[in-house]
Amino acid sequence: MKESKSNKKKLITKLSARSTPAPTTNRDIFIRDLEGELVDMNDPECEKILAVIRETIKLTHKFNSSAHSPKKSRKLFSKIIGQKLDDKSWIIPPFYVDFGKNIRVGKNFFMNQACTFMDRGGITIGDDVFIAPKVCLTTINHDFDPYHRTATFCKPIVIGNRVWIGINVTICPGVTIGDNAIIAAGSVVTKDVPENAIVGGNPARVLKMLEFE
């Protein structure tokens, strides 16, 4: 039996702003994608997005397929994201990413191996951020309508300064992590994290607050 329109409406109203797309406009496909509008991958305009993804796949393969000096790694990673990394940043391959061009990274960035960034909604990382192995930052969601799952929408991830993200953490679309926060290993972060908080669990919750001079 099909759900009534009223039941569907009730379901939609229960979803958070992170779980629902922005109102649809006729703007450029990249702007619509970055600002959280529903984008149907069957739309001919999506070829522009797919072209960037294909180029990023090539660059990522080159980054992951050989041992590079730290300087060479920074140069290749800079090409993937379209932004020059500072000389103190260190990225350890392999690294997996779907789009690449919506990543912005601050100074003295360290990322360990086997991390995955799904960045079409935008990933912004502050200064002095440490990211452990196998961390997943994903900004993209599929439409909740089971008959329209080819459509996607994005929400940005923002990571403050001096954040430490532990091994095998997943950070979901729309999450902001405050300065100095620590994300415990294995956590799934579905809500914003306050400054100076240590969070852990699935879903992650505040375990304690940091105290320092």
Which residues carry out catalysis? 142
Cα 141 to Cα 32, 53, 55, 180, distances in angstroms: 14, 17, 22, 27
Number of alpha helices (DSSP H) and beta strands (DSSP E) in the chain? 4, 19
Q: How many angstroms separate the CA atoms of 143 and 15, rounded? A: 12
The helix/strand/coil state of 78 is helix
Which residue is it, tokens 């956590």? 187
CB 134, CB 115: distance < 8 Å:
yes
Sheet containing strand 115-118, strands side by side: 95-97, 115-118, 136-138, 170-171, 188-189
CB 185, CB 28: distance < 8 Å:
no
* Terminal-residue alpha carbon distance, the chain: 61
* Paired tokens of 122: 């935008």
